[in-house]
Amino acid sequence: MCGIFACHHHPDVQKFKPTALRMAKAIRHRGPDWSGNFIKNQTILVHERLSIVGVDSGSQPLVNDDSSIALAVNGEIYNHRILRKSLDSKYHYKTHSDCEVIIPLYMKYGVDAPKHLDGMFSWVLYDANEDRVIAARDPIGVTSFYQGWSSKTPGAVYFASELKSLHPVCDKIVAFPPGHIYDSKTDTTTRYFEPTWWDPKRVPTTPVDYKAIRESLERSVRKRLMAEVPYGVLLSGGLDSSLVASIAQRETLRTRAMQTQGSIASENGDGELVGIDDENDLSTVTLLAQLHSFSIGLPGAPDTEAAIEVAKFLGTRHHAFTFTIEDGLNALSDVIYHLETYDVTTIRASTPMYLLSRKIKALGVKMVLSGEGSDEIFGGYLYFHAAPNKEEFHAETVRRVKNLHLADCLRANKSTSAWGLEARVPFLDKQFLETAMNVDPQEKMITKDRIEKYILRKAFDTSDEPDVAPYLPDKILWRQKEQFSDGVGYGWIDGLKDNAELHVTDEMMKNPKPEWGDDIPTTKEAYWYRMMFDEHFPPSCANTVERWVPTWSKQTDPSGRAISTHVAKYKDAA
């Protein structure tokens, strides 16, 4: 991940420059490797860089030969090599960065440029010849991005990777919508991402194709191995992260074998390979001696034990970290500062991930693969047991995927970026989404014969394929869902609730702050988080937050452990 801050049509951009640099510095944790800025006319772009691809030459903002176009990007473009082949061969690339391809792409396609990108990204491009700013965000919102305005500088528009860079200079801020592009020429924001599954009322009827699901996810993981730095996988021990880890390990072993056989040429002596997939000509991967995997939990946590079992099965070099409830409580205010939310579910799950990310970065790893998105796509949360029919089941999956940028994507992006670590999420690949979201939702429904995410599990079940090695042990492949905040240890949530009781009185619950309006916390835990949020951010930032509770359920606690299905399952197991 990187951090960007930009302002277009500022009345005195030179005078504003020190402030702009200070706003960017507030998100330097996202990009600790280098800083850069570009000023022209009334526009300034500032960039804080985390170098993953094009390490030696990819400093930003990127500019074309005559400096008429400047670009600041946060993200990764997985198809950049393929795009370079299809664009103007006369364009002079100054770097090996995957992001520079956006400049000639814009020169050829204008505001349609993002439609051609395969990756996760937020970017701001300035075209000096037209005095025009273009800003775009990836289809699902894997990377965080915000837009702001100030009553003190009417006509100016601001952009940043995080709220903390905008609220000191803006009095109106919105979350930049995923899959959209802003054009200052028309002062409009329009949706460029138009997948076939977007309309929740269009219920798919396509039968499930297990082979297509498996191959699509494998391609997605393969793309995301593009890196020139040490990388690893987050391994909770649940189905989603375990599948990602399994595929990544298979790709690592396959690529190493191809290198040994001489079918892939090494560019240098450090094991850096180009074109790990001949069919798609994907980009660069640095082979490690052994794939690293990482987990975290309270001592004896359900997920930690499962993660260790998976790592042993796969042969990864596993790091099973532990944390205490006190560690988590001490980090809460910092977590809310970095997450920029007061949503209970997000904070519960983000705190262990935040602590884990710090430990991972200390080991020298800069990129990890993670399993976010699967539960939204396949209806994996336990409350989906209560879906009354396939139409509502499908509509809820569409709604959840569309809102990922306010929940799990926000968690994955900001928990890791807080320590200069990048998280990549294969389940949210737009090609994989096209495959998985177009399956007849009846196939995804949870019945007495089908556990949640049945079709994903079945796609990677090789029990009837004697020539294919198993991806996971059966007990992991068919293990019931644990929400991350539960799986790290049940004492974690209990500890949060107990401490909220100490900080929030009954009288406080009866008298919420007037500036909260109708957004009133319903539990003491939620009230506690909102108070901490208010310590960091003004009320104008609250409209970017969404508080989540399960559909088809009357519970006030969003924990999966509170769902009756989970209770029944573990009573039976006992």
Summarised one tens digit per residue, pLDDT across range 107-164 is 999 999 999 999 999 999 999 999 999 999 999 999 999 999 999 999 999 999 999 9
pLDDT at 3 over 90: yes
Q: In this structure, what token pair is assigned to residue 569?
A: 């399952």
Angstrom distance (rounded) from CA 405 to CA 451:
27
Angstrom distance (rounded) from CA 523 to CA 529:
10
What is the per-residue burial (b if ≥16 Cβ within 10 Å, else e) of 313-337?
bbebebbbebbebeebeebbeebbb
132: closest CA among 110, 114, 115? 110
pLDDT at 566 over 60: no
Q: Is residue 18 reached through a cis peptide bond, with omega within 30 degrees of 0 on the bond before it?
A: no
pLDDT at 55 over 90: no
Mean pLDDT of 526-535: 98
SS3 state at 113: helix
Confidence category of residue 30, pLDDT binned at 50, 70, 90: very high
Mean pLDDT of 4-25: 98
Angstrom distance (rounded) from CA 348 to CA 484:
9
Q: Would you state the pLDDT for residue 547?
A: 87
| pTM assigned to the model | 0.93
Q: Would you state the pLDDT for residue 40?
A: 98
Range with the lowest mean pLDDT among 3-12, 20-29, 93-102? 93-102
379: closest CA among 360, 352, 398, 351? 398
404 in a labelled binding site: no
DSSP codes, 240-276: HHHHHHHHHHHHHHHHHHHHHHTSS-BSSTT-EEE-S
What would the pLDDT profile of 60-74 be if each residue is shown by its tens digit? 999 999 999 999 999
**What is the CATH code of the structural domain delimited by 210-573?**
3.40.50.620
Q: Which H helix or E strand runs over 476?
A: helix 474-477
Angstrom distance (rounded) from CA 111 to CA 185:
11
371 in a labelled binding site: yes
15 burial (CB, 10 Å; 0-12 / 13-18 / 19+) is exposed
Out of 2, 99, 170, 409, the active site residue is 2
Mean pLDDT of 51-55: 81
DSSP classification of residue 2: -
Q: Would you state the pLDDT for residue 265?
A: 47
Q: Is 99 assigned a catalytic role?
A: no
Q: In this structure, what token pair is assigned to residue 345?
A: 């579910």
296 in a labelled binding site: yes
Residues in the chain: 574
DSSP classification of residue 190: E
Contacts 24+ apart (CB under 8 A), 503-512: 503/528, 503/531, 504/528, 504/531
What would the pLDDT profile of 164-207 be if each residue is shown by its tens digit? 999 999 999 999 999 999 999 999 999 999 999 999 999 999 99
DSSP codes, 399-446: HHHHTGGGTHHHHHHHHHHTTT-EEE-GGG-HHHHHHHTTB-GGGT--
Q: Are 182 and 135 in contact (CB under 8 A)?
A: yes
**What is the CATH code of the structural domain delimited by 3-191?**
3.60.20.10
Within the chain, all domains assigned CATH 3.40.50.620 are found at: 210-573
DSSP classification of residue 398: H
SS3 state at 49: strand
370 in a labelled binding site: yes
What would the pLDDT profile of 297-307 be if each residue is shown by its tens digit? 999 888 899 99
Angstrom distance (rounded) from CA 528 to CA 548:
16
Range with the lowest mean pLDDT among 87-91, 96-100, 287-291? 287-291
Confidence category of residue 54, pLDDT binned at 50, 70, 90: confident
Q: Are 223 and 282 in contact (CB under 8 A)?
A: yes
